[in-house]
Structures are given as structure tokens and as C-alpha cells.
Amino acid sequence: MSMLITPISVSEDAATRRTFGDVEGAARFLMDNWPEAFSNTPLHVSARRVALDALASHVPVEAFRLAFASAAEEAGILADPPSIGLRVG
């Protein structure tokens, strides 16, 4: 079962932009491809925890999206602002 989120994009490098529309793909990127310098910050650790909670249906998927966006903004890879109504930071 796919857990859809409002699409969110990150810049993987100067030439590569990735857009995620589901929790699984975004969580995998969060766990496996996050910028090394930001891989253990409180926002990244929180986003990893919320990812697991969302995958287990303990929190709404948009809570994960917000945590992912916050960590991506901190890491400087958020490619577009989160949806209206979601506050990053």
C-alpha cells in the first residue's frame, strides 16, 4: 500500500532534482541519501522517527512531509517551499 503525500522536491546535487509523492520513497532518501553533514542533526533524527511512525500509521503522512521539509530546508536541499499552511522550522 502506497502512502501518498503532497509532492515535495529536493535538490540531490546541482543537476538533479528529485520529487517524492509517497512516504516510502521520501523515507528511503532520508535514510540512504541525506547529505552527510546533516545526517545526525535533531531535525534529521526527528524526520527519521516520524517516517517510521507514518509508515506504521501512527501519525498522519503529512506530519512526515512537514518533518521531511524541515530537515531538507536545514540541509539546504529543499527545492520548493512546502504547501501553504505548513510551517518549516
Q: With CA atoms as reference, report the closest residue to 44 among 3, 76, 17, 13.
A: 76
The segments of the chain whose pLDDT lies below 70 read: 1-2, 80-89
Question: What pLDDT shows up at residue 89?
Answer: 43
Question: What pLDDT shows up at residue 87?
Answer: 47
Q: How far is residue 7's CA from residue 42's CA, in Å, rounded to a whole number?
A: 23
Question: What pLDDT shows up at residue 15?
Answer: 86
Question: What pLDDT shows up at residue 2?
Answer: 64
Question: What pLDDT shows up at residue 81?
Answer: 59
